[in-house]
Amino acid sequence: MTKKSIFVFALFFALAVFLAHYWIVGSGVWGDGRYYYAYLRSAVVDHNLDFRNEFEHFSCPLELTKTGRIANKFSIGPALLWSPFFLVFHLKASFLNLLGINLITDGFSHLYQIATGLAAVFYGILGLWLSFKVVEEYFSLKIALISTFSLWLASNLFFYTAVDPINSHAVSFFVASAIVFTLIKYSREGKGRQLAILGLLTGLLAMIRTQDLIFLVPILAWLLKEGQKEIRLAFNKVSIFLFFVLVGFLPQLGVWQILYGELKSPYLIQGETFNWLRPQILLPFFSSNNGLFYYSPILLLAIIGLFLARKRSFLVMGGIFLFLLQTYVVASWHTWSGGEAYGGRMFISLMPFFIIGLAAFLERYNKKRWGLICSVLLALVVLNFVSIVKFLLTH
C-alpha cells in the first residue's frame, strides 16, 4: 500500500464519517458553521452580503450594525476556500435544470451542504498530507505515518475534519500545514515566489481565524535572523512577506468595512475582551469544559516531543513559540473554552507542529518501548472515538 493510497483511504473514511453523521442529524451546517456558510450561500446564490434569509433559515439571531447591515462577526476565509466546490455544484445544478432535470438550487438543500462538507473534508485530508510530508523530512516513513494518523485519529482534529468539517477548523489546519510546508521549501530554495506564497497563506490563515495572525511573529523573526548579516536584504524580504500578508487579508478588511463601517475586528466592536494580566493558563488545557489535553491527551506526548526536539530545527522552535503564544492568547480570551466545542479547537492551527512533536516523541522512545507505545496510541484513538460519540449524544 503506497503512501498516497493510505491518504486516499483516509479521505474516503473521513467522507464516510461525515455522510453518516449527516444522515443521522439531517444537516451538515450547525453551530458556528451556520455563520461561515451564510457568507458562501449569500455571495454565490444571492450575490450580496445580506444574511437575512440565511440567518432566518438557520435560526440565527439578527442584529444590525451601525451601517444598517446584518452583523456577522465570523470570518470569510472558510467560505472563500469552500466556494470553488459550492460554485461548481451550483452551476451544474442550474445547467441540469435547463435540461429539465429539476434540482433545488436555493443553496440550502442537502446537496449544497454535502458539497460544502466534501470540500471541507478534502481540505482537512490535504492538510494531513502536507503535515505528513513535513514530518517525513525529519523522520522515518514509519514514524511519519504513525505520528500523523495517531494524532489525527486520537485528537479533536478528527472531529473537525470528519464529523463537523463545515466550520473554520479543517481549512485552518490545511492552511497552517501549507504554511509549514512552504516555509521548509523557502528555507531550502529561497525563491521570491515562495516568500510571496508564504505571505498570502499567512494572510489567508488570519482571514480564517484572526487569532492566527500570531504566525507572523516567528516567521518575521526567522526572516530577520536569516538576513542579519545583510540588513537591506532582510528588510526587502520582510517587506515582501508583509505586503503579501496584507494582500491575503484584504478581503476580510473589505467585508468588515462593508458590514461594520470599520477596519476593526467585530469581536472587539461587540465588546468581547481579553484579560491580558490575568490569563487562565491551566483551564484551556485541563478543564472538563473543552480542555485541550482533557479531550486529546495524545497532545501531551506531542508537546513533550516538541521540547525534546527543540534544538533540531528552526521549525520546532517556531512551533514551541507559537504554542506558548497561542496559549497566552487563548487563556486571556474571555471565552477561552471556545463555546460549544469538542476540545480546545482554538489550537487546531498548531496541529502541524503537534504532529512533528509526536514524531519526535516516538523516535525518542520507539526502540525501548515500541509495543507499549503502540498500545497506548491505540487506546487513545479508541478513547477519542468514544468521547466523540458521547459528545454527540449529549449536545
132-138 long-range contacts, Cβ below 8 Å, gap at least 24? 132/3, 132/7, 132/355, 133/181, 134/177, 134/180, 134/181, 134/184, 134/315, 134/352, 134/355, 134/356, 135/355, 135/356, 135/359, 137/184, 138/312, 138/313, 138/356, 138/359
The predicted model gives 247-266 an average pLDDT of 95
Query: What mean pLDDT is reported for the chain?
Result: 93
pLDDT exceeds cutoff 70 at 197: yes
The Cα–Cα gap between 80 and 281 comes to 33
The predicted model gives 153-159 an average pLDDT of 98
The Cα–Cα gap between 118 and 19 comes to 9
Amino acid at 334: H
Cβ–Cβ contacts within 10 Å for residue 218, how many? 19
Which DSSP letter does residue 99 get? Answer: T
The Cα–Cα gap between 361 and 352 comes to 15
48-66 burial, b at 16+ Cβ within 10 Å, e below that, comes to ebebebbbebbebeeeebe
Helix (H, G, I), strand (E, B) or coil at 170: helix
Q: What are the cell numbers at 31? A: 453551530
The Cα–Cα gap between 71 and 259 comes to 7
The Cα–Cα gap between 286 and 294 comes to 5
The predicted model gives 222-230 an average pLDDT of 77
The Cα–Cα gap between 114 and 203 comes to 28
The predicted model gives 344-373 an average pLDDT of 90
Confidence of residue 227 (pLDDT cuts 50, 70, 90): low
Radius of gyration for the alpha carbons in the chain, expressed in angstroms and rounded: 21
* Distances 194 to 120, 200, 225 between C-alpha atoms, Å: 25, 10, 18
339's torsion region: left (phi>0), alpha (psi -120 to 50) or beta?
Answer: left
Amino acid at 167: N
**With a threshold of 0.75, does the pTM exceed it?**
yes
The predicted model gives 32-52 an average pLDDT of 96
The Cα–Cα gap between 235 and 138 comes to 30
Pick the closest to residue 341 from 279, 283, 282, 288 (CA basis): 288
The Cα–Cα gap between 217 and 321 comes to 9
pLDDT exceeds cutoff 90 at 330: yes
- Percent residues over pLDDT 90 in the chain: 81
The pLDDT assigned to 364 comes to 87
- The helix (run of H) or strand (run of E) holding residue 109 is none
pLDDT exceeds cutoff 80 at 274: yes
Residue located via cell numbers 468521547: 387
354-387 burial, b at 16+ Cβ within 10 Å, e below that, comes to bbbbbbbbbbebbeeeeeebeebbeebbeebeeb
The Cα–Cα gap between 228 and 237 comes to 12
Distant-in-sequence, close-in-space partners of 365: CB < 8 Å, separation ≥ 6: 373
Q: Report the half-sphere exposure of 75 (CA within 13 A, side-chain side).
A: 27
With beta carbons less than 8 A apart as the criterion, state whether 93 and 105 touch. yes
Q: What are the cell numbers at 35? A: 455563520
What DSSP assignment string belongs to 280-302? Answer: --SHHHH-TTT-HHHH-THHHHH
Give per-residue pLDDT as tens, 96-129: 877 777 778 899 999 999 999 999 999 999 999 9
